[in-house]
Structure 1
């Protein structure tokens, strides 16, 4: 699994002109699943994301986690994080998991994040979404469960 985190001061996802998810301070979490991913990958990403210290403390140092600042998460499924661009100019998405594997893991990821006590909003798996955000910092971090 791959997780692209963007620390945000606000983010929202719209589908067909309707806002389906919106947060203030926290993470926009773009979540991708590949073949062979499972519970261990999911647990690793949730643990890393919730404990990653990228929020400022009282001295302005990146010493606080999203749990510490009681931030929120806007979770969006993003199969394109597994794009292979080595050949030609058209990305190959063959590494992305099929929807029948990816959707249950994406749903489990969201449930696991909620179980930590964080507020979670989310997009709709497989939908054409418009995501807007104000990246705070900017801070953008990629976490891959295969690179532990």
Structure 2
């Protein structure tokens, strides 16, 4: 399970196009893994929760010239890899990681664009979501 962070300015495009882009090369990623899409805290309204969507990792490839600009205007040349996702679902009851992980969520506060959740936290999140939104995860 991964946490992908995105700005408020790019969230709509990430969700609509089911794509995210990264500078560094993703390693040890497996197609079919769950992705939690998190809006940057600084871009959230006062009572807005960060995790609003869940996706499934589908493919990773080098970004093509002009592709970044098409999805996220003003970012051409910033990203090197494009991650395609599928099966995007809106979370009915958006949440912050702290609600699911408690104090352990601090481990993810410095994440700039993506981070794999450690196995213990993934189990906690799956349990949290199973009770909160049973239809969300496979």
> Greater share of strand residues, 1 or 2?
1
> Greater share of helix residues, 1 or 2?
2
| Higher RCO, Cα 8 Å, sep 6+ | 1
TM-score when scaled to structure 2?
Answer: 0.28
- Bigger radius of gyration, 1 or 2? 1
